[in-house]
Amino acid sequence: MRRERELYEKHQVSNRLHIIGAIWLVFLIGIPIWWKTTEVYRASLPYKEVQKWQDPNSLYINFSIQLSYILPNDIAKDININSLNENIQEEFNKKNIIGNNNDNTQDNTSTDDDDFEYTYPPKIGFSFSVNTKTTDKWNSNIALTRNIDENFDDLLTLDTDTDEYNVYILKQKETSKSFADVYIGKNKQFMIFLKDFSEENIIKYTVPIILNMFENEHSDIISSFTEERDENESKEEIRKMRTFKYASNYQILYSLFNGNVNDYTVNWEIEKSIKSYFGPFFDTLSFISKFDVTSQIQNFATLPLTAKYSNDNDNKYYYLEAKDLGHFINSAEWNLASPVSTAPPINFILYIPPYSQSPLYIHDSKGEILETNAFLIPRWGGIVIDKNRNNTMDNIGEHQYIYSFKDLHPIMELFLDQLRSLLGINEIKFLPTDLPRNVRVLYGTDSKRGITAWELDQLLRKRTVQNLVNASRTLNSLAKLVGSLRNMVVKDKIKDKVDFALECLENAYKEVNGRNYKQVFLYSKNALIASEEAFFDPTMVSMLYFPDEHKYAVYMPLFLPISVPLALVLKEEFKKRKKNKKQSSTSSSKSEESNKNVNEKESTSESQSIETNGS
């Protein structure tokens, strides 16, 4: 009976241990599985490659400029072409230090635990390669009987698709009082008109002017990275603050606002005007940015400010002061909302003042009437106040006025000039101090496209630098963000976008010396778009923060009530097993001692028996 009871108790203990062990086995196997299944997925980003682009040595951008000096045969016959080419190249090489704006690269970076963080401005350089050649297509006196204008520019254009900048050496009119005349054409052409075609004169009146042109471009690019405003900033610096940041798409809204509908209602031939005046401009810039154009008319557009009245002799008019223009927009009543789009909006407003406040002019800071009667709002758009309204009714009725295609011509020119300024397109202009003594400069325009080839290339190079720097900054910010938030979701598509952005950066820097500015720009554009798509991806924002503390807070109320009793039971079971083992050991030793005493007694009795038999 006792034996059976011991076996039963032993069986119970064994079952109890199996049950407890099974529960703990579930915990030991289940907890790692639960931990693994609840952790966020993080694709491995190429941190080292991203960090490489924060090194200022990797961000040195050097543009290669190809210059072709073209001399008519009647001039070239008296000049050693090879010697001229070598001397011009040597002169450019002496000045080939444009872009070394900062000799101390540490000023461009800040380090924290060996982690580079790139800051502005970048290092930019221009290297010049000169090729001198002759032509028999025209003589040096071709400009003597022609006007220097767009038609003359087209006449001398050899190839509009070339990446070279052509420098033409031509004969100057005898009546000219300047030492040299310079014409900056619209098709990458630089024309120099001289009376003396000596090698010294050709170098003297071309190299410094061309170098100055690219030095101005370099300064413009560097200043575009200056985001702080100085109290003593110049008008040029303020002008650069107007420029929109680069975007692959812009939303442009043209608005016609009528100050008083009781005077008359208005309409305009805006579609035809936009197609004529802006169509070629948009087409030219289509590979840089796309433009979505909309228009509207509002016949109820009262001003939120009161115009002042001027009674100056016979010249009676109303006017707005420059300090009041910041309050010109009536945000409460004017509907300037563009269609739903992530593209930056650019607004252009033609405002018609009511008869009771006409004519309405703008005073500049000196109190004088502004000739254009228009003004810009930085990174917002442009406004033109109509001061020359035509009273023709065009057979529509005495209470309706229509702006015809002809009426809109001067207004569209103002809008185009404002758009150029907002997009960062700068006219090529020289100060008298930038030029050699007694040199006259003429500037060509492109009336059809609204932008010359020189201006387009400058815009391309500026946007390329901005895109490359901003792409590298965005990738660095993304890497830092992902590194600081260990529980942020990083999907494979984010990694793919980062890899693609890095590949575009690499390709852009490989191509930048190839003078294919369009291709380099496209690489920089794709790098910027990919980096921003990766940084602002919705999947990262929705799972932006999933800390381990959250897991503990959610699951501890579930696991703690179960794990504590199990731990106590396991502890008690170990105590019982230890006690039973000790009792078993004690009983075993007593049994062995008893058996030993019995054996000793038996041995003693046997020895006594043997002794008796012997006696």
What is the average pLDDT across 395-401?
A: 60
Cβ(516)–Cβ(63) under 8 Å? no
What are the sequence ranges of the domains in the chain?
2-34+562-614, 60-229+433-458, 248-422
Distance in angstroms (rounded) separating the CA atoms of residues 385 and 374: 6
Q: Number of C-alpha atoms within 13 angstroms, CB side, residue 439?
A: 23
Percent of the chain with pLDDT over 90: 28
Confidence class for position 146, pLDDT limits 50, 70, 90: confident
Lowest average pLDDT, out of 157-161, 188-192, 306-310, goes to 157-161
- pLDDT tens for residues 369-387? 889 999 999 889 999 998 8
The pLDDT of residue 106 is 41
Helix, coil or strand: residue 70: strand
What is the average pLDDT across 136-149?
A: 81
Q: Which of the pair, 506 or 176, is modelled with greater confidence?
A: 506
The pLDDT of residue 7 is 64
Helix, coil or strand: residue 517: helix
Q: Which of the pair, 226 or 233, is modelled with greater confidence?
A: 226
Lowest average pLDDT, out of 158-172, 340-354, 446-460, goes to 158-172
Lowest average pLDDT, out of 133-137, 285-289, 412-416, 434-438, goes to 434-438
Helix, coil or strand: residue 148: coil
Q: Which of the pair, 342 or 470, is modelled with greater confidence?
A: 470
Name residue 282's amino acid: F
- pLDDT tens for residues 99-110? 544 444 444 444
- pLDDT tens for residues 16-72? 777 777 777 877 787 788 777 777 788 889 998 988 887 766 778 888 899 999 999
Helix, coil or strand: residue 15: helix
What is the average pLDDT across 268-297?
A: 93
The β-bridge relationship of strands 308-312 and 265-268 is unpaired
Strands (E) located in 259-344: 265-268, 290-298, 308-312, 315-320
Q: Above 60 in pLDDT, residue 116?
A: no
Q: What is the secondary structure of 209-257 as a DSSP string?
A: HHHHHHHHHHHHHHHTT--S--TT--HHHHHHTTPPPP-SEEEEEEEEE
Q: Which of the pair, 330 or 478, is modelled with greater confidence?
A: 478
Q: Burial code of 63-90, b = ≥16 C-beta within 10 A, e = fewer?
A: bbbebbbbbbeebbeebeeeebeebbbe
Q: Above 80 in pLDDT, residue 313?
A: no
The pLDDT of residue 282 is 95
Distance in angstroms (rounded) separating the CA atoms of residues 456 and 236: 20
Write out the two tokens for 411.
Answer: 């207004």
Whole-number average pLDDT of the chain: 80
Q: Above 90 in pLDDT, residue 220?
A: no
Question: Is the preceding omega at residue 410 within 30 degrees of 0, hence cis?
Answer: no
Question: Is the preceding omega at residue 354 within 30 degrees of 0, hence cis?
Answer: no
Distance in angstroms (rounded) separating the CA atoms of residues 209 and 203: 10
Residue 573, phi-psi category: left (phi > 0), alpha (psi -120 to 50), beta (remainder): alpha
The pLDDT of residue 82 is 92
- pLDDT tens for residues 7-16? 656 666 677 7
The pLDDT of residue 489 is 83
The pLDDT of residue 499 is 95
Distance in angstroms (rounded) separating the CA atoms of residues 398 and 401: 8
Write out the two tokens for 315.
Answer: 């010249």
Q: Above 70 in pLDDT, residue 238?
A: no
Q: Above 90 in pLDDT, residue 274?
A: yes
Distance in angstroms (rounded) separating the CA atoms of residues 265 and 257: 10
Cβ(273)–Cβ(405) under 8 Å? yes
Cβ(321)–Cβ(308) under 8 Å? yes
Nearest to 247 by CA among 277, 290, 199: 290
How many CB atoms lie under 10 A from the CB of residue 457?
19
- pLDDT tens for residues 535-589? 998 887 655 555 667 777 777 787 778 777 777 777 777 777 777 777 767 766 6
The pLDDT of residue 113 is 42
- pLDDT tens for residues 486-527? 778 888 999 999 999 999 999 998 888 777 888 999 999 999
Three-state SS string over 444-501 comes to: CCCCCCCCCHHHHHHHHHHHHHHHHHHHHHHHHHHHHHHHHCCCCCECHHHHHHHHHH
Write down the residue that tokens 């060509």 correspond to: 444
pTM: 0.80
Q: Which of the pair, 290 or 488, is modelled with greater confidence?
A: 290
Confidence class for position 484, pLDDT limits 50, 70, 90: confident
Q: Above 70 in pLDDT, residue 317?
A: yes
Q: Above 90 in pLDDT, residue 292?
A: yes
Cβ(468)–Cβ(501) under 8 Å? no
DSSP 8-state symbol, 55: S
Question: Is the preceding omega at residue 121 within 30 degrees of 0, hence cis?
Answer: yes
DSSP 8-state symbol, 275: I
Give the H or E element holding residue 282: helix 279-284
The pLDDT of residue 230 is 46
Confidence class for position 319, pLDDT limits 50, 70, 90: confident
Q: Above 90 in pLDDT, residue 593?
A: no
What is the average pLDDT across 68-79?
A: 90
Nearest to 372 by CA among 358, 359, 361, 356: 361
The pLDDT of residue 108 is 45
Cβ(73)–Cβ(136) under 8 Å? yes
Q: Above 70 in pLDDT, residue 609?
A: no
Any residues with CB less than 8 A from the CB of 477 and at least 6 apart, and which? 535
What is the average pLDDT across 423-451?
A: 84
